[in-house]
Structure 1
Amino acid sequence: MFTFKKGLIFSLMLLLILLFTVGCSESNESSNNQDKNDTEAEENTEDGDTEKAEAKAPQAGGEVVVGVAGDFINLDPILSTSGDDYPFVWGIYDTLVTYNSDLEIQPGLAESWEFPDDTSIVLQLKKGVKFHDGTDFDAEAVKFNIERANSEDSVIPDLRHVEEVEIIDTHTVKLHLSVPDASILLALTERPGLIASPAAIEKDGEEFQRNPVGTGPFKFVSHVPNGELVYEKNEDYWKEEEPYIDKLIFKVMQQETTRINALKSGEVDIIAGISPFSVDSLETAENIKLEMPNSSHRSKAIVFNASMPPFDNLKFRQAVTHAIDRDIIVDTLTNGYGEPLYQIFPNDFWAADPDLKIEYDPEKAKQLLEESGVEDPSFTMLISQQDFYEPMFTDIITEQLAKIGITVETETMEGTAAYQKMWAEKESQAMSSGTAGKPDPHLLMEIWVIADSFFNAGEQTTPEFDELIVAANSTNDQAERAKLYHEINRKQALDEVVNIIPVMSVPIIYVLNDKVHGFTANGLGKSNFNSIWIEE
């Protein structure tokens, strides 16, 4: 049934994996320069985001234009791999499950669920929901989508433990798991939980990505590559009153100054991300407010291929990680809004080890390098042209590693070509990379450290490491999981240095015209615009 070609999938999925760094930035926890008469209070919304609810009632009508740094990779959920695609796909599709700003699980198209045992989950589906093409959302649609997400055509690993999707009745499905999976519900808040129309997929085949159909608040209208994407209101949306606006438009503006000028002139209403050094000037701008989540799950890191010299040498990998002065990098590149990062989880995430720190110790790094026996301590690091923090990030890394005797050559490429070379062709030693957030720690493991992950170019692992990852995902006791992830973090970052060297967290910031309401930035960098409205 699913006939997509792998080459096509990859070429479509690569463009924006790291593009988030072009526009990640910060503001104060509350928006600046807002109307002093607006009285705001925190509330959890039905779709899971914590929004600021103004005293004024939402107004219906109008259109919102969002300025973005780059186009999406793919609007087909099983072919998209960039966190930057979420603002695009969340308008078209609903997820089976969602979460609020604290990453607490909330109902979506699945209005309730239960676990009969450790290896099954029963989902009760919402009734009366229709896809944009008029077909019914039901258990058959859920079975179709989950099986498609697990097919060989998919690039999504999150539901690999789902062995069977059993239809109990028209609005009840039972997922049978091969092993206990603590991440299964939060996996359904991600791409595999985005439900597309089976009828539209069967009708359009590979062309579905160009005419996507879901149950979401907006319908796809048109797309001009690297130009603009236009959505219109779904008049039959199952959430009462939403969406408020009649049209949602994304305009691609690669230069940040262009996006900022467009916001000031009124050409766009929202900028989806700015650099840290633009914050100060925008805080005092008229009719503009800034939004930022309380914490950021996005980061900058060095990823490498552990099957290639010199990264196949443990002592060499350890030398690199101790030679990096993370504090200097953060101070130089984030304008005071970032943090040093020593593990793949953000510092305030429940799975992070608060005691784990990698000391900047060039003398120790020199000793490790000597012990490594590497005769030619040098490597080439790829840089994506779409990355805001480049080439500054790699320049600093290069300078720091040179101090212990490691030579770094850089190769700057267009984003798609860089990712193709690093992960599809596996021909590069290392790459300056960004990491996007996930609501459950195991989902991040699936991306970066599971041996057969697409992004683990060297397929690096150890039996003990694998056993710990399985154990941490096999219990629902968060305290026990946290203890296991602390051990995993230490092995990943220090003992084995598996696949990735985290360096710094990067801030996430959106800039809005102050007439835009109903939006709150998401800590994963995957905010949606489904509940926004315009004050006229």
Structure 2
Amino acid sequence: MTRNRPTNWTDRDDVMIENAIRRGASRRDLLKMLMASGVALSAGSGLLLRADKAMAATPVSGGHLKAAGWSASTADTLDPAKASLSTDYVRCTAFYNRLTVLDENGEVQMELADTIETSDAKTWQIGLKPDIAFHSGKTLSSADVVYSLKRHLDKSVGSKVNSIAKQMAEIEAVDDLTVKIVLAEPNADLPTILALHHFLIIADGTTDFSTANGTGAFICETFEPGIRSIATKNPNYFKAEGPYLDSFEFFAISDNNARVNALLSGDIQLAGSINARSLRMLEGQSHVETSITTSGNYTDLNIRLDLDPGAKAGFIEGMKHLVNREAIQKSVLRGLAEIGNDQPVSAANRYHNSELKPREFDPERAKSLFEKAGVMGQSIPIVASEAATASIDMAVLVQQAGSEIGMTFDVQRVPADGYWSNYWLKEPVHFGNINPRPTPDILFSLLYASDAPWNESQFKSEAFDRMIVEARGLLDEEKRKAMYWEMQEMVANEAGTVIPAYISDVDALSTKLKGLRPNPLGGMMGYSFAEYVWLES
């Protein structure tokens, strides 16, 4: 409120009004304050108009939020190391904290860490913020950080980021508030890596995850895997601002239309990841709006290299030419996507290989390759599900294109419930859905290294594995970029993953829900919305 102020109005008065707004002052209260300060009614009206706008953007405390994601499973977990679905990420980021977080520009910010320092990108010293309490009342110390990080190295834990964490050769407490990490090889990305959802900090010695004992903005009241969770505000949260909600309930509604209908009827205030077809239901609805994030989410067609038909020379290349990327972008995703080139580093990332061209849609070329593979005349199953965004529509497009060249594909639509545990990574030809990751190293380590936990096509290359290690230690940005470009070409040409488009994450929300912003880790504010949003009264 600095423009068109009365001549007797000062910066101090601006602060007074803003503080009054934050304390919950009504419009009548503000008007009395203005008149007491000698402001004319006409000038005061202009100030109040700007105050109204400021009030709309000022967090309000209180209220109960009901939010719905799109995937759930009886394997839902409160163990950050084992988290694999967006549902897990939402809950875990509400109950626990990380050492670092990424802001909406992808920049690293401190969370539990107060400082992170290195002189060589190999030996790192992390200073923790003091006087942070777990929900149990225990005070955070370096022992909790050491325990949390070392769990990822224990294969019996089953950490989803074991392949990333194992670069931490030494993890030790220097004192109560200082941790030293020595990497096997230099990696300048460590502060970014520590911002991943899996590296949330738990209390030393925790083995029971039937509930959550974290330092997070919310306390777990109810956790029913595959059903719902209820969380209440942490009254002892260490941050000066937030959380604003008194409580929130989170569950999954796998069907897109049902999720939108729940929002339209007022049963929920946030519907995560709405597909393009369901967006039509929101047209003309003044009480809802959308939040769009394009940061690298994608649905990919996975063809396992170790199973037929993917093991047959030519089949995968044929599939890459049979996928009509432009039709997927324009028709299936209704323009809310960017065309992909069969590798996971999107155009939102500074290391994206912009010169790597996507395969052309060429059914005749695909037919020739299928003949070479000896699969013409066979019926090839393609497993798809609502669990993987737009995968059913993509599968039908492939099926239609195949029928025009005499190739038969059997689209097997399976339930969303249990898809990730029963079909993903297992079926010879199936779809996946990968959430954004902030660095190429993380994407390659999770998805394409020979020992990657989510190696969707069972791509294995010793040369590629060596390049992962070499690239992460390069301090020369140009050399690092050149290596990442080469690795993207290797994935596009040798792996069995077809990535036709990078999808925009579209969340639908009530206009009363405020504070939701884009984040490079994905939709729903990088799955951390609960701490930052508020409900207008």
TM range (shorter): 0.7 to 0.9
**Secondary structure of the corresponding residue to residue 292 of structure 1:** strand
TM-score for the superposition, normalised by structure 1: 0.82
**Secondary structure of the corresponding residue to residue 174 of structure 1:** strand
Aligned to 2:517: 520
Output aligned runs, 1:133-532, within 5 Å. Answer: 133-152=136-155, 153-155=157-159, 156-157=161-162, 158-199=164-205, 201=206, 205=207, 208-293=208-293, 295-342=294-341, 343-357=343-357, 358-372=359-373, 379-404=380-405, 406-415=407-416, 418-422=419-423, 426=426, 428-456=427-455, 459-494=458-493, 496=494, 498-523=495-520, 524-525=522-523, 526-529=526-529, 530-532=531-533
Cα drift, residue 442 of structure 1:
1.0
**Measured at CA, do residues 470 and 330 of structure 1 come closer, stay the same or move farther in structure 2, by a change above 3 Å?**
same
Output aligned runs, 1:100-139, within 5 Å. Answer: 100-139=103-142
**Measured at CA, do residues 296 and 235 of structure 1 come closer, stay the same or move farther in structure 2, by a change above 3 Å?**
same
**Measured at CA, do residues 473 and 360 of structure 1 come closer, stay the same or move farther in structure 2, by a change above 3 Å?**
same
In 1, Cα distance between equivalents of 2:381 and 2:327: 22
In 2, Cα distance between equivalents of 1:313 and 1:124: 53
**Measured at CA, do residues 375 and 401 of structure 1 come closer, stay the same or move farther in structure 2, by a change above 3 Å?**
closer
Cα displacement string for residues 71-93 of structure 1 (whole angstroms, at most 9, x for unaligned residues)? 36212101111244222211111
Cα drift, residue 336 of structure 1:
2.0
Which stretch shifts more, 477-486 or 237-246? 477-486
Aligned to 2:536: 535
Q: Give the counterpart letter for 1:488 in structure 2.
A: M
**Measured at CA, do residues 462 and 377 of structure 1 come closer, stay the same or move farther in structure 2, by a change above 3 Å?**
farther
Q: Give the counterpart letter for 2:504 in structure 1.
A: P
Which stretch shifts more, 430-439 or 136-145? 430-439
Aligned to 2:17: none
Question: Are 2:90 and 1:87 equivalent residues in the alignment?
Answer: yes
**Secondary structure of the corresponding residue to residue 202 of structure 2:** coil
In 2, Cα distance between equivalents of 1:266 and 1:457: 38
Cα drift, residue 66 of structure 1:
1.1
In 1, Cα distance between equivalents of 2:50 and 2:497: 45
Cα displacement string for residues 382-437 of structure 1 (whole angstroms, at most 9, x for unaligned residues)? 2235345242221111222344554323333334654445567x4x3111221211
In 2, Cα distance between equivalents of 1:223 and 1:111: 31
Cα displacement string for residues 431-459 of structure 1 (whole angstroms, at most 9, x for unaligned residues)? 12212110111111122211111222564
**Secondary structure of the corresponding residue to residue 308 of structure 2:** coil
Q: Is the contact made by 1:97 and 1:193 (CA closer than 8 Å) also made in structure 2?
A: no
Cα drift, residue 253 of structure 1:
3.1
Cα drift, residue 260 of structure 1:
2.8
In 1, Cα distance between equivalents of 2:107 and 2:55: 23
Q: Give the counterpart letter for 2:221 in structure 1.
A: V
In 1, Cα distance between equivalents of 2:153 and 2:518: 30
Q: Is the contact made by 1:67 and 1:250 (CA closer than 8 Å) also made in structure 2?
A: yes
In 1, Cα distance between equivalents of 2:487 and 2:510: 43
Q: Give the counterpart letter for 2:124 in structure 1.
A: I
In 2, Cα distance between equivalents of 1:404 and 1:514: 48
Cα drift, residue 194 of structure 1:
0.2
Cα displacement string for residues 122-179 of structure 1 (whole angstroms, at most 9, x for unaligned residues)? 1111111011011111100000000112211123222120112121111111111112
Cα displacement string for residues 71-124 of structure 1 (whole angstroms, at most 9, x for unaligned residues)? 362121011112442222111111111111121111111121111334221111
**Secondary structure of the corresponding residue to residue 397 of structure 1:** helix
Q: Is the contact made by 2:384 and 2:392 (CA closer than 8 Å) also made in structure 1?
A: yes
In 1, Cα distance between equivalents of 2:149 and 2:316: 38
In 1, Cα distance between equivalents of 2:286 and 2:247: 25
In 1, Cα distance between equivalents of 2:326 and 2:268: 36
In 2, Cα distance between equivalents of 1:225 and 1:151: 24
Q: Is the contact made by 2:86 and 2:527 (CA closer than 8 Å) also made in structure 1?
A: no
In 2, Cα distance between equivalents of 1:39 and 1:433: 47
Gaps of 5+ in 1: 1-36, 42-52
**Measured at CA, do residues 434 and 198 of structure 1 come closer, stay the same or move farther in structure 2, by a change above 3 Å?**
same
**Measured at CA, do residues 278 and 375 of structure 1 come closer, stay the same or move farther in structure 2, by a change above 3 Å?**
closer
TM-score for the superposition, normalised by structure 2: 0.82
**Secondary structure of the corresponding residue to residue 147 of structure 1:** helix
Q: Is the contact made by 1:448 and 1:500 (CA closer than 8 Å) also made in structure 2?
A: no
**Measured at CA, do residues 197 and 442 of structure 1 come closer, stay the same or move farther in structure 2, by a change above 3 Å?**
same
**Secondary structure of the corresponding residue to residue 468 of structure 1:** helix
Higher CA-based Rg: 2
Which stretch shifts more, 254-263 or 340-349? 254-263
Gaps of 5+ in 2: 1-48
**Secondary structure of the corresponding residue to residue 67 of structure 1:** strand
In 1, Cα distance between equivalents of 2:504 and 2:285: 20
**Secondary structure of the corresponding residue to residue 522 of structure 1:** coil
Q: Is the contact made by 2:322 and 2:366 (CA closer than 8 Å) also made in structure 1?
A: yes
Which stretch shifts more, 66-75 or 414-423? 414-423
Amino-acid identity (%) = 24
**Measured at CA, do residues 63 and 439 of structure 1 come closer, stay the same or move farther in structure 2, by a change above 3 Å?**
same
Q: Is the contact made by 1:99 and 1:189 (CA closer than 8 Å) also made in structure 2?
A: yes
**Measured at CA, do residues 311 and 274 of structure 1 come closer, stay the same or move farther in structure 2, by a change above 3 Å?**
same
Question: Are 2:59 and 1:58 equivalent residues in the alignment?
Answer: yes
Higher relative contact order at CA 8 Å, sep ≥6: structure 1 or structure 2? Answer: 1
**Secondary structure of the corresponding residue to residue 151 of structure 2:** helix
Which stretch shifts more, 374-383 or 467-476? 374-383
Cα drift, residue 291 of structure 1:
1.3
